[in-house]
Amino acid sequence: MKKTITIILLLIIQTATYSFEDNYIFNAERIKKVFSEWEIERERNDKNYFMRLYNKEDDIFIDISNYEKGDNPEIAEKRFHKSSLNGDFKFDGNNHLSIKYLGVASKEFTKYTETEIKKKESFFFEKVKFSIVYTGTEEEYEKTLELVKEAIDPSTKVKERPKKVFKKPTEIDQIFNVKKLKREFDNTHKFVQIESGKNNDKTASYVMIFLDEEKAGLRRQIIIEDNDNFSKKVITRRRDYNLRHTKDIQGYKYIGEDKKSEKYFGVSSREYQNTYFKDEKLFDVVVMANVIVTNQYELLIINYIPEGQKEFADKQYEEYLKILNSCLRK
């Protein structure tokens, strides 16, 4: 009896899936209306129509397109599977979470990087194919599935949404006076090296300040990045993952909030500690990392504290905060 019920349920799901596949469409204008609050990162219309949509707040992007002549779901799925594996994704199998939204399970892939765990969910219907890549929660993924359903199902009414205006990327020199940073740190430290970079497709605009020579091995450093590529929530999550999973030395441990930065930047810092060098009896030092994330920029301050010098290190940390604050362009 149980076996019969299971077979009937599977037949119902398969029938519903077939119905969904036949109904889904690719309509660029409809997609743009549904995703009016997402950024269109890429768009082309040559052999087929392709769009890449990006949600900065949750760090989710969607590649969605119709098929070019001679292409079909089976061919596209095989091609996509191969390219995902070549891109260091691991195939996890079918993810059934999407069935209640789209009627079918997705093909799920996972990739582990230095800053995050990426999930890629791919779908291939008769008239439209797409993949959803996300680094956050299943809840955020499900909200995206709801939007996709609205965008590709012609029987679903499109809701009215405001169109978001996206600003041009900000260079870090527009937020901090980099020349003044160099001058102020020169006045207080024997050695200062500054590296910087502008916004591009791969990295945000940044400034990296080293306060020790390379031959010293353990180099105190301050990194400043603008927040054009990610939201405050996503940057905090990425940095937390990055510090916890540091490759060269054992991961940092989160030890709590530090309030000193509130006076200078309006937000507390997330404080991390790493005892690798002490545990391995290499050096009698503890590594401290403070992460300060505002809506405009992120600060990462890394300090090496010898045994018995915590009080001095705290004063030094506050000195860094004062200098950084004084170089903010008001």
Give the pLDDT confidence of 93-116 residue by residue, as tens digits: 999 999 999 999 999 999 999 999
Encode pLDDT of 172-223 as tens digits. Answer: 999 999 999 999 999 988 889 999 999 877 788 999 999 998 887 889 999 9
Backbone angles phi, psi at 37, to 5 degrees: -95, 5
Digit-coded pLDDT (tens) for 262-291: 999 999 999 999 998 888 888 899 999 999
Per-residue confidence (pLDDT) for residue 208, from 0 to 100:
96
Question: Does the 172-326 domain belong in CATH 3.40.1000?
Answer: yes
55: CB partners within 8 A, 6+ apart: 37, 38, 39, 61, 144
Query: What's the CA gap between 58 and 232, in Å, rounded?
Result: 10
| Helix/strand/coil for 283 | coil
Q: Is the pLDDT of residue 20 over 70?
A: no
CATH of domain 2-152: 3.40.1000
Q: Looking at this protein, which amino acid is placed at residue 98? A: S
Residue 11, pLDDT score: 44
Query: Is pLDDT at 35 greater than 70 in this prediction?
Result: yes
Percentage of the chain with pLDDT > 90?
76
Structure tokens at 21: 């596949």
CA 207, CA 181: separation in Å to the nearest integer? 10
Nearest to 223 by CA among 299, 291, 292, 172: 299
Confidence of residue 22 (pLDDT cuts 50, 70, 90): low
Average pLDDT, the chain: 91
pLDDT-above-70 percentage for the chain? 93
CB crowding 59-85: b at 16 or more within 10 Å, else e: bbbbbbbbbeeeeebeebeeebeeebe
pLDDT at 257: 96
Report phi then psi at 108, rounded to 5.
-105, 135
Domain boundaries, the chain: 2-152, 172-326
Compute the average pLDDT of residues 282-302: 95
Q: What residue type is 54 in one-letter code?
A: Y
Residue 87, SS3?
coil
> Which is higher by pLDDT, 137 or 308?
137
Q: What does the pLDDT read at residue 317?
A: 95
Residue 230 scores a pLDDT above 80:
yes
Question: What does the pLDDT average to over 293-307?
Answer: 95
Q: What is the pTM of this model?
A: 0.86
pLDDT of residue 15 exceeding 70, the answer is: no
8 A C-beta contact, residue 295 and residue 234: no
